[in-house]
Amino acid sequence: MNDTRQRIALLSKALDLLTDRPIKVMEVCGTHTVSIFRQGLRSLLPPSLKLVSGPGCPVCVTDQGEIDAAVSLAGINGVTVATYGDMLRVPGSGSSLMNERARGRDVRIVTSADQALEIARNEKTRLIVFVAVGFETTAPSTASVILDAHRDRISNFTVLDLHKAVPPALEALASDADIDLDALLLPGHVSVILGLSPYGFLPERYGIACAVAGFEAEEIMLGLVEVARQIKEGRPRVASLYGQAVRAEGNPFARSLVDRVFEPGDSSWRGLGEIPLSGYALREEYSSMDALKRLDISIRRTPPPDGCSCGEVLRGVMTPRECPLFGNLCNPSHPVGPCMVSGEGSCAAHFRFSAGGDDPWKR
Amino acid sequence: METLSIGHGAGGRLTEELVSLILGRFPGNPVADREDCAVLPGGIAVTIDGYTVTPLAFEGGDIGSLCICGSANDLSVRGAKPLYIALGVIVEEGFPFEDLARFMTSAGEVCRALGIELVTGDTKVVPRGQADGLFLTTCAIGKTGAHPGLGTRNISPGDVILLTSPPGMHGATIAASRYGLKVNGLSSDCAALWPMLETLLPLEGLKCMRDCTRGGLGTVLCEWAESAKVGIEIDETLIPWDEASISVCDLLGLDPLHMAGEGCAAVVVSPEEAEAALELAKNHPLGKRASIIGSVTEEHPGYVGIHTASGGTRLVDKPVGEELPRIC
């Protein structure tokens, strides 16, 4: 047995000793979800620890109406839609960006906001719409690119701004009695930006144990041990296990970039509905870069597909396997909802990597 | 109207649907064994493959070397020595002569090294916009020798899985270049496998070989488990990973088990001859990092499991469509 396996076996043992009653822990971030599955950590958790996935997959929480708006934008002559790869497959009510690309619309994959601006600089005759999704981790780079475009007067660059803020969504989950969470595993990279103070209300007001953890197997296991210990001791708090990278005050520079460009606005989350002030709205000064205004497209509310339980899955009240569509009508080749589409979606992870904590060999 | 998406070409579950649609329109039960190449009466082995890589030249190779290595490897993994090649060239108007000459030189060099003869071909020039620069198709023909019956049907519980080199290097190199990442030491593994695999053929316990191209090592293992109705277990810590490829996958959120290699083969061999096979592979420069990565089991037929570096266990699945980089 190698060193890592030995250390993780010890952490697994510690977790077993610390959980003397059933506890429900939500891993908030999609990157955590995938890492937990990919490392096979579910097979190492005690049966008393129930791990549910939260609303931290940017693709999954993007509302269907928002996808429809992106699809409509892609259909306008002269428009190039640039976005992160994961967004392409998500079905809207009628089509997806992937389908639009197959139909000859100009949809391009970028891995950063910079690349989208670069397209605008190089192709002056196209109107670029950067579909900006994600949380505190991607909002600063979108802000920075908007500031660059503004400074350099790049008039053919626009943004479909779908950014969302994590803490208001956590508040919505924490205050929902149906969900009944004991603990949250918080994402390291979001916390690098936000710091720890925005999470303070979770233990204080709702008694929820919190640990900020990195994405390696050992860091995740340490995070789980930390929350199990807080629960056992009856002293919930926000602990950071992300080391030097997370400072209590976060990254003020990144936040100041975001503040210059965005202001808090209401946002619609798939599964959670409209959450007040949970979005990053473009400030008036930059409204010429708002793709919706520029191209006169609005975000409509559309009902989720029939029978799709992504909303319940994202709130942690249903496990993917409890959804009647899971595995038969909804699978990665033919996804019904976004949780089965995204590489970071919990349904896709359950389908690809195994069952819950019990038998990894059964789908 | 339902249309094809790029995922139908990615070698995973969507590709299976596409292939079924095509095969269903032909009489009989065409290409029933779904191996990398067909072996005709008399031990004549045939395969055909199209090459549409972007970019056309990459660290470690180009479309020219790729189009010979790829098809020759499809023969080699069934124990057939590649002998002849037919080449189809579709080139877009405006394509530089110099580039075409460069790629054909690379193709010719691989043929020379392997003793493969170009016997027939076709050229088409299409108007600008109707092809992405250059598309090549090669049909390779070879002859089976010592081990005419290599194939999935020989796989049985207890057998050992050997991997000849790090998986996913070609795919990671192409992904890095497409998404604008520069990574030191990153290179495609594009190479002709025949000289190494030939040395394994005398082993009686050799069951089956497959080059881990489109869909990666994960797809090869899943296809074996499904069609041979066996379970497969591998150990993450025994896979000879390439550091540079792993960093690309980590950065982009791609699964290295789903990334293509172009000079990497998975080999199934009886447990008695596993060590001998490993030694033979290691004796060749292409196999210097060869490793035994797992075994075939009677339990959980149809599934592939990986024991992770953390000591956990999870399933390995085929990719669904195009592997797309994640958001953050």
> Looking at the domain assignment, is residue B327 inside a domain?
no
pLDDT digits (tens), chain B, 328 positions:
678 877 787 766 778 888 888 988 998 876 667 788 999 999 999 999 999 988 999 999 999 999 999 999 999 999 999 999 999 999 999 999 999 999 999 999 999 999 999 999 999 999 998 888 999 999 999 999 878 789 999 999 999 999 999 999 999 999 999 888 899 999 999 999 999 999 999 999 999 999 999 889 999 999 999 999 999 999 999 999 999 999 999 888 889 999 999 999 999 999 999 999 999 999 999 999 999 999 999 999 999 999 999 999 999 988 877 777 666 5
Q: What is the mean pLDDT of residues A72-94?
A: 92
Tokens 């569509």 correspond to: A325
B96: domain CATH number is 3.30.1330.10
Q: Does B307 touch chain A (CB under 8 A)?
A: yes
Q: Does the beta-carbon distance from B299 to A40 stay under 8 Å?
A: no
Model confidence at A245: pLDDT above 80: no
> Rounded distance, CA A71 to CA A81, Å?
9
Are B202 and B297 contained in the same domain?
yes
- Please report residues of A whose CB lies closer than 8 A to that of B7: 89, 98
Are B60 and B137 contained in the same domain?
yes
Under 8 Å CB-to-CB from B2, ≥6 apart: which residues? Answer: none
Q: What are the two backbone dihedrals, phi and then psi, of residue B32, each rounded to the nearest 5 degrees?
A: -60, -35
Give tens-digit pLDDT for A110-155. Answer: 989 999 999 999 999 999 999 999 999 999 999 999 999 999 999 9
Mutate: best of B13, B230, B314, partner A, most A CBs <10 A: B314
Q: Does the beta-carbon distance from B6 to A98 stay under 8 Å?
A: yes
Q: What per-residue confidence (pLDDT) applies to A357?
A: 43
> Looking at the domain assignment, is residue B18 inside a domain?
no
B258: domain CATH number is 3.90.650.10
Model confidence at A355: pLDDT above 80: no
Are B161 and B126 contained in the same domain?
no
B323 in Cβ contact with B258 (< 8 Å): yes
For B237, the closest of A2, A88, A333 (CB atoms) is A2
B168 in Cβ contact with B100 (< 8 Å): no
Model confidence at A361: pLDDT above 70: no
Least confidently predicted of A60-64, A103-107, B61-65: A60-64
Distance separating the N- and C-terminal Cα atoms of chain B: 34
> Looking at the domain assignment, is residue B232 inside a domain?
yes
Residues of chain A with CATH 3.40.50.11750: 3-57+166-245
**Reported confidence tier of residue A356, pLDDT bands at 50, 70, 90:** very low
Model confidence at A161: pLDDT above 80: yes
Give the number of domains in chain B: 2
**How many degrees, rounded to 5, is the angle at CA B220 between CA B178 and CA B200?**
110
**How close is the nearest chain A Cα to the Cα of B197, in Å?**
31
- Please report residues of A whose CB lies closer than 8 A to that of B4: 102
B194 in Cβ contact with B111 (< 8 Å): no
Q: What is the mean pLDDT of residues A95-110?
A: 93
Are B217 and B74 contained in the same domain?
no
For A40, the closest of B7, B14, B310 (CB atoms) is B310
On average, the pLDDT of chain A sits at 91
B256 in Cβ contact with B241 (< 8 Å): yes
Give tens-digit pLDDT for A263-312. Answer: 999 999 988 889 999 999 999 999 999 999 999 999 998 888 888 898 88
Are B266 and B181 contained in the same domain?
yes
Q: Does the beta-carbon distance from A101 to B6 stay under 8 Å?
A: yes
Given B112, B144, B176, the domain boundary residue is B144
Are B165 and B311 contained in the same domain?
yes
Are B54 and B119 contained in the same domain?
yes
For A360, the closest of B4, B310, B315 (CB atoms) is B315
Are B235 and B113 contained in the same domain?
no
| Alpha-helix residue ranges (DSSP H) falling in chain A | 3-18, 30-38, 58-61, 64-74, 97-102, 113-122, 139-151, 166-174, 188-194, 201-206, 217-233, 252-261, 291-295, 310-314, 338-341, 346-353
Are B160 and B252 contained in the same domain?
yes
Q: Does B312 touch chain A (CB under 8 A)?
A: yes
Q: What is the DSSP letter of A197?
A: G
- Please report residues of A whose CB lies closer than 8 A to that of B321: 89, 333
Q: What is the mean pLDDT of residues A238-252?
A: 86
> Looking at the domain assignment, is residue B199 inside a domain?
yes
For B315, the closest of A85, A138, A353 (CB atoms) is A353
> Looking at the domain assignment, is residue B20 inside a domain?
no
Given B108, B123, B144, the domain boundary residue is B144
Mutate: best of A336, A353, A358, A359, partner B, most B CBs <10 A: A353
Residue of A nearest to B231 (CA): A361
Are B130 and B173 contained in the same domain?
no
Task: Please name every residue paired with A262 in a beta bridge, in sequence order, or none if there are none.
Answer: A282
**Reported confidence tier of residue A1, pLDDT bands at 50, 70, 90:** low
Q: Does the beta-carbon distance from A109 to B179 stay under 8 Å?
A: yes
Model confidence at A184: pLDDT above 60: yes
Give tens-digit pLDDT for B69-121. Answer: 999 999 999 999 999 999 999 999 999 999 999 999 999 999 999 999 999 99
Are B172 and B48 contained in the same domain?
no
Taking Cα atoms as reference points, which of A13, A79, A82, A73 lies closest to residue A49?
A: A13
> Looking at the domain assignment, is residue B321 inside a domain?
no
Q: What per-residue confidence (pLDDT) applies to A189?
A: 85
**How large a percentage of chain A has pLDDT more than 70?**
97
Model confidence at A250: pLDDT above 80: yes
**How close is the nearest chain A Cα to the Cα of B254, in Å?**
9
Residue B94's region, left for phi above 0, alpha for psi from -120 to 50, else beta, is left
Q: Does the beta-carbon distance from B300 to A86 stay under 8 Å?
A: no
Which residue range forms the structural domain that includes residue B213? 152-316
Q: Does the beta-carbon distance from A1 to B311 stay under 8 Å?
A: yes
Q: What is the ipTM of this complex?
A: 0.82
Q: Does B19 touch chain A (CB under 8 A)?
A: no
Instruction: Determine the CATH number of domain A60-165+251-295.
Output: 3.40.50.11740
> Looking at the domain assignment, is residue B3 inside a domain?
no
Q: Does the beta-carbon distance from B311 to A58 stay under 8 Å?
A: no
> Looking at the domain assignment, is residue B303 inside a domain?
yes
For A361, the closest of B7, B300, B327 (CB atoms) is B300
Given B96, B116, B144, the domain boundary residue is B144
Are B166 and B254 contained in the same domain?
yes
Q: Which CATH class is domain A3-57+166-245?
A: alpha beta
> Rounded distance, CA B235 to CA B194, Å?
27
**How close is the nearest chain B Cα to the Cα of A303, in Å?**
23
**How close is the nearest chain B Cα to the Cα of A298, in Å?**
24
Q: Does B182 touch chain A (CB under 8 A)?
A: no
